Homo-oligomer: A and B are copies of this chain.
Amino acid sequence: MSTPILPKSEAAALVAAARIRRGLTWSAIAAKIDKPVVWTTAALLGQHPMTAEDAAAVAALLGLGDEVVESLQLQPARDIAPELMKDPTVYRFFEALSVYGPALKELIHEEFGDGIMSAINFKVDIRRRAHPDGDRVVVTFDGKFLDYRW
């Protein structure tokens, strides 16, 4: 019988539930498929398609079925749920961009000329930096500069 593919948001909910119940970290899952941890987490939340091999490996680790394996390989439509944008942990990033985005634009133009930092040829990393006043979250955006080129 024909059925639609499990939506990526439902696959993500099954991944989240299995991950918590099995006591696995996102890092452990990323290590299992030998991919960067931010990429892996984003992919499992539905923002990147996975290869069949990676999808199967994650499903095996988490005890999930074929419908999840199929869904994880699906090409996503990338978006953020509106209600997540107000979550304080996410919102602080948007606030920082509201405060510093125009300055970053000025400095990109000063250093590179007219263009953008690609968000496609791009990677993100997150790490903990120890600090005597309290440890810090360090997030790095690393994207290729693209100049406006007609």
How many copies of this protein are present in the complex?
A: 10
A136 shortest CB reach to chain B, Å: 5
Interface of A is mostly: mixed
**Residue in B27, B94, B140 whose CB lies within 8 Å of A140:** B140
CA distance A18 to B1 in the complex (A): 10
Q: Which residues of B contact A123 (CB under 8 A)?
A: 150
A residues 84-123 in Cβ contact with B at 8 Å: 84-112, 114-123
A117 shortest CB reach to chain B, Å: 4
Q: Which of A38, A64, A77 has the most CB of B within 10 A?
A: A77
Check A103–B42 contact: CB distance below 8 A: yes
CA distance A143 to B148 in the complex (A): 11
